[in-house]
Chains A and B, each alone.
Chain A
């Protein structure tokens, strides 16, 4: 009898793509799971249990071992620096982290302020550039900050660039490409290695087909 795997799935935007990938790999989760209010769902015939989590929290569940496996954005992995195995690039929901701001606005020379929901990514990036900056942490609608003079620049996820454009902002530098990753708890990686290996190899096959 193989051991049951608990998978933390991201609710919202990424869910559909992630579920489709899982389905191609032979794990039938159902596309409408996301709409249900249930947070934990059992699939006894496939020997898996699915937890529906906020994308930002998937990594936390996996690090603490509440879930064996999870699907999480690289942005969250960069920001939170958690002790998990990053085993597979699922190449879904591609976007990138970038620095943006009002056009032709030089950085303030005394204390440049950066508004972001990725304080670590932003400060790491500017430190590498040799700039000392101050972080203004925000949770959403980051684009507001430069418009109302709260910050010189923002560091945020860009997918199509439409939000930036509609608010009259321009992209200054790209920091890093982002896709969703398959992550594994370090203990589960060892004690449930057979089951995890099976899932990873099924998913990698799907990935190869997709990319072929």
Chain B
């Protein structure tokens, strides 16, 4: 391997320079204000976890985990998401607390490097988990809070697409019976967004023409509330019907929250092969080519930590949100005070006064400034206390 040059960083790692840091900080602050206003409490977990525990049950594929060994030879992972660590905490230290739990987080997560650009190996997620509420009210609260948080962050144009994995699985088991292999194949096609492959696979199935038609019809179940009618006619068993009813009720509740214009439905949406168990959703914003946020109901995760509870939550990709907001840089509102040996004491006093009024003030000795006019240009205001400066410079 070629010798690393001094400026290089590991693949997929990025620096956060002051401008982007400020934008991120602002977005993070606005998101956490809305999340706090819904009564969620923020918490954090370690960056490293055991591969055997959090690593195994997280929604991230094994090949995407960053793995390392501790001194005892245990395999550790850098946390690939926050949901699994929070489930661990909820099922241990917090299990005596009053449920439902409303927890929130904001911090870096890690996904193994990919050779291509635009796919960072470390990024920040801000999100929530509502643990111990298995009702549609819980689903609605989480989606409504997601919409409001994005709006509060300043995002105007976005879409949340809602699906229901329970519906898809019950529908397949109704049409295909116990044929798990075919079910798995068809789910894979939907998960991989390969509708051509799905249609081809359906055509060659050894089932009746009616059943084929029904399987193909599944692909048309996307849009607004009008799809509830057609899903009902496709749904032939109790579990399907129940899933459609859940979606209907969810939509009604989202209307009560006044956020229905941001959502659409897609019953082909499969965000993950075997993680979510009920309603799931993804959010997108124009001008950023990738997923902005996602979430859903996961009922199998907490039981793997020996806590029998249902949970739902969302995670927002903070850097992508900032990219979607593409806000202009704030005016630099720092004040500079230029001093020399004689005026330094006076400068300290002046700076103190301005700082007490809430300003950011930098005190700079004139001898150390290579270019005084460039120095002044970068600041909103400078006060030159030296003899060369003469009067105050506004």
Q: Does A83 contact B (CB under 8 A)?
A: yes
CB atoms of A84 and B193 under 8 A apart: yes
Does A186 touch B at the CB level, under 8 Å? yes
Could you say which residues of chain A place their CB within 8 Å of the CB of B158? 191
Residue B195 interfacial (CB < 8 Å): yes
Kindly state whether residue A43 has any CB partner on chain B within 8 Å: no
Q: How far is the CB of B376 from chain A (nearest CB, A)?
A: 41
Q: Which residues of chain A from 55 to 104 have any CB-CB distance to chain B below 8 Å in the complex?
A: 63-66, 83-89
How long is the Cα–Cα vector from A83 to B161 in the complex, in angstroms? 17
Q: Are B289 and A66 interface neighbours, CB within 8 A?
A: yes
CA distance A186 to B289 in the complex (A): 8
Pairwise interchain contact B194-A187, C-beta atoms closer than 8 A? no
Nearest B residue to A3 via CB reads B286
> Is there a chain A Cβ closer than 8 Å to B259's Cβ?
no
**Size bin of chain A's contact surface:** 10 to 19
A187 touching B289 in the complex, CB below 8 Å, given contacts A64-B118, A193-B264: yes
Instruction: Find out whether the CB atom of A86 lies under 8 angstroms from the CB atom of B290.
Output: no
Asked whether A187 lies within 8 Å of B291 as measured between CB atoms, the reply is yes
- CB of A65 within 8 A of CB of B289, answer yes
Contact of A187 among B196, B197, B264, B290 (CB under 8 A): B290
> CA–CA, A124 to B159, complex, Å?
37
Q: Which residues of A contact B282 (CB under 8 A)?
A: 190
Restricting to B46-103, which residues have a CB under 8 Å from any CB of A?
none
- Contact between chains at B291 and A186 (CB < 8 Å): yes
- Judged by DSSP, the binding face of A is mixed
Mask of B286-317 contacts with A, CB within 8 angstroms, 1/0: 11111100000000000000000000000000
With A89-B196, A193-B264: A63-B289 Cβ-Cβ less than 8 Å: yes
Q: Could you say which residues of chain A place their CB within 8 Å of the CB of B222?
A: 193
Q: Does A117 interact with chain B (Cβ within 8 Å)?
A: no
Assuming the A-B contacts A187-B288, A190-B159, are A86 and B196 also in contact, with contact meaning beta carbons closer than 8 angstroms in the complex? yes
CA separation between A84 and B192, bound complex, in Å? 8
Report yes or no: B161 in contact with A190, Cβ–Cβ below 8 A: yes
Whether the Cβ atoms of B289 and A64 lie closer than 8 Å is yes
Q: How far is the CB of B134 from chain A (nearest CB, A)?
A: 27
Q: Do residues A191 and B284 form an inter-chain contact, with CB atoms below 8 A?
A: yes
Residues of B149-173 at the interface with A, using a CB-CB cut-off of 8 Å, are: 157-159, 161
Distance of A185 Cα from B284 Cα, bound (Å): 11
**Distance of A159 Cα from B93 Cα, bound (Å):** 64
Contacting residues, chain B, for A89 (C-beta < 8 A): 196, 199-200
Residue of A nearest to B282 (CB): A190
Given contacts A63-B289, A65-B289, A65-B290, are A186 and B193 in contact (CB under 8 A)? yes
Output the residue of B195, B199, B287 with the most chain A CB within 10 A: B195
**Is B285 an interface position by the 8 A CB rule?**
yes
Closest to A187 in B: B284
Q: Which residues of B contact A186 (CB under 8 A)?
A: 193, 284, 290-291
Q: Does A181 contact B (CB under 8 A)?
A: yes
Contact for B284 among A66, A84, A88, A190, CB less than 8 A: A190
Contacts of A190 in B (CB 8 A): 159, 161, 264, 282, 284
Cβ 8 A contact of B195, one of A64, A85, A185: A85
Chain B residues in the interface with A (C-beta under 8 A): 118, 157-159, 161, 193-197, 199-200, 222, 264, 282, 284-291
16 A-B pairs within 8 Å (CB atoms) are namely A64-B289, A65-B288, A83-B193, A86-B193, A86-B197, A87-B196, A88-B195, A88-B196, A185-B289, A186-B290, A186-B291, A187-B285, A190-B264, A191-B158, A191-B285, A192-B286
In the A-B complex, list the 6 residue pairs whose CB atoms are closest, starting with the nearest. Answer: A65-B289, A85-B193, A187-B284, A86-B194, A190-B284, A89-B196
Given A84-B193, A88-B196, A191-B285, 6 other A-B contacts at CB below 8 A? A85-B195, A86-B196, A186-B291, A187-B285, A187-B288, A190-B161
